[in-house]
Amino acid sequence: MNVWLVETTTKGENNKRLGLASKLDGATLQRISTQTVNHCAKRTGMSLFSIVDKTQHRKKVLPFVEQLIQTYEPPDVIVSSGSKANSLMIPVSAKLFTDSFWVNIGRPRRFHDLADLILQQAWEQASLATDSANVCHIKGIPHHVTSESLATQHAVTACHFERYRDTRKIVVLLGGAISGGAKTDFYDEFFMAHLRTVFLGLSDNRHTVFVANSRRTSNTFWKKLKAEVAPLNMIYVDHDKPGDFSYLSLLAHADAVLVCADSMSMLWEASATNKPVFALVPWAGRGPTPEPQAKNLEILMRDGRIGHFSQLMDTVPKTNNRPIDLSTEFATVTLERVKHWRSSRQVKQTFSKEPKSQLIF
């Protein structure tokens, strides 16, 4: 089965697609970048989004789409998410007309009628207004954290954590984008005060605290945090230069994980382990609760997979976590829909897919 991953420059979105695609049995993965398509489009003086909006501009990318299909062979399944990926899928879907099954993770902002399956996540708005037959509601985010991947990481990186074996290893995962009125590169003193409180409670020789930033953590905040809060038992891990401590190895060796709740992906990745996981809520006290982060946190807390950060101070924090494999759940739904889609087309004795929208060439 030939699977196209329509990739964007957003790492979190790519992790979703890789998580799902990696669980599609027998799949050969081809990674198609929207960046490459946009470069082609810009040579005509247009952007990727303007291609979607104007038919005459979409036609200019047709030769590139033909080359794309010749290079990677027509896909059996196409996995995308995000508006940029959907923008690429307009000309691709138009050209293929297609024997390919297109699945989109998350509710697209527009052109949702073009996808064969939309895996709509639980915190997104209720059912789509049109073409709801192609929507399946899924609770969670697909990702690459599994019991197997953690066990492998634990084994191959054990030497890096040997010196900390007699301490309780706490991993703190920082996000960066706070919805509801703050810029991506902004953290206020209220959140910094929360972190100081947490770190003060863990600043003894019984704990080792690993603080890891993410692609969305502002450089200004990261530098300020390291300058102002730096007990001897703390280790700062930069995602650009992780050194001996990769993201997966931190999760594998952690005794407990504290996650900034604005990152929905990291909350689900941490809660997919069997470790105690706690949420630090950066929007608390800053005004209206943002969506969809608050809904996502509510789901995880209601399921008992996430606790409040104050519980992190417990000597032996309890957890109801059981390892879950969300990517397999997503893949199971996808393969069932693909099988049904193929069967219905064979009954009709045709594989020529009619265009669903007037937005196609």
For 223-270, write each residue's pLDDT tens digit.
888 888 877 789 999 988 888 999 999 999 999 999 988 888 899 999
Same-domain status, 101 and 47: yes
pLDDT at 359 over 60: no
Q: Max CA-CA distance within the chain?
A: 70
- Residue 353: phi and psi, rounded to 5, are -80, 125
Which residues constitute the domain of residue 121? 2-143+327-347
Verify that 117 and 255 share a domain, yes or no.
Answer: no
Same domain for 309 and 338, yes or no, is: no
Token pair 């000597």 in the structure block, residue: 315
Q: H or E element: which one contains 209?
A: strand 207-212
Residue 319 inside a domain? The answer is no
Residues 257 and 172 in one domain: yes
Cα 358 from Cα 115, distance rounded (Å): 14
Residue 41 tokens read as 């489009």
CATH code for position 177: 3.40.50.2000
- Residue 98 CA to residue 268 CA, distance in Å, equals 34
Is residue 320 domain-resident? Answer: no
Provide the pLDDT for residue 186.
Answer: 53
103 and 223 within one domain: no
Q: In the numeric block, which tokens belong to residue 139? A: 């609770």
Counting residues of the chain whose pLDDT is more than 90, the rounded percentage is 17
Q: Are residues 102 and 32 in the same domain?
A: yes
CA dihedral of 296, 300, 303, 307, whole degrees rounded to 10: -140
Task: Please check whether residues 201 and 299 belong to one and the same domain.
Answer: yes
pLDDT at 221: 84
The DSSP output letter for 109 is S
Report how many helices (DSSP H) and strands (DSSP E) the chain contains, helices first: 14, 12
Query: What are the CA-CA distances from residue 358 to residues 53, 54, 361 (Å)?
Result: 11, 11, 8
Give the residue from 287, 281, 266 showing the smallest Cα distance to 180.
287
Mean pLDDT, the chain, rounded, equals 76
- Residue recorded with tokens 């190895």: 249
The total domain count for the chain is 2
**Structure-model confidence comparison of residues 57 and 168, the more confident one:** 168
**How much is the pLDDT for 93?**
59
For residues 266-278, give the mean pLDDT.
89
Domain CATH for 41: 3.40.50
108 and 244 assigned to the same domain: no
Q: How far is CA 32 from CA 21, 58, 69, 85, in A?
A: 13, 18, 10, 10
What's the confidence (pLDDT) of residue 80?
A: 83
Does residue 159 share a domain with residue 115? no
Q: Are 178 and 224 within one domain?
A: yes
Least confident of 3-17, 69-83, 194-208, 310-324: 310-324
Listed in sequence order, the DSSP H helices in 23-163 are 34-42, 48-53, 55-60, 62-72, 83-96, 147-156, 158-161
Please check whether residue 191 lies inside any domain of the structure. Answer: yes
Same domain, 161 and 139: no
Q: Is residue 359 part of a domain?
A: no
Q: What distance in Å separates the CA atoms of residue 327 and residue 334, rounded to the nearest whole number?
A: 10
Instruction: Dihedral sign for Cα 326, 332, 338, 344, please.
Output: negative
User: Are residues 298 and 163 part of one domain?
Assistant: yes
pTM (predicted TM-score): 0.79
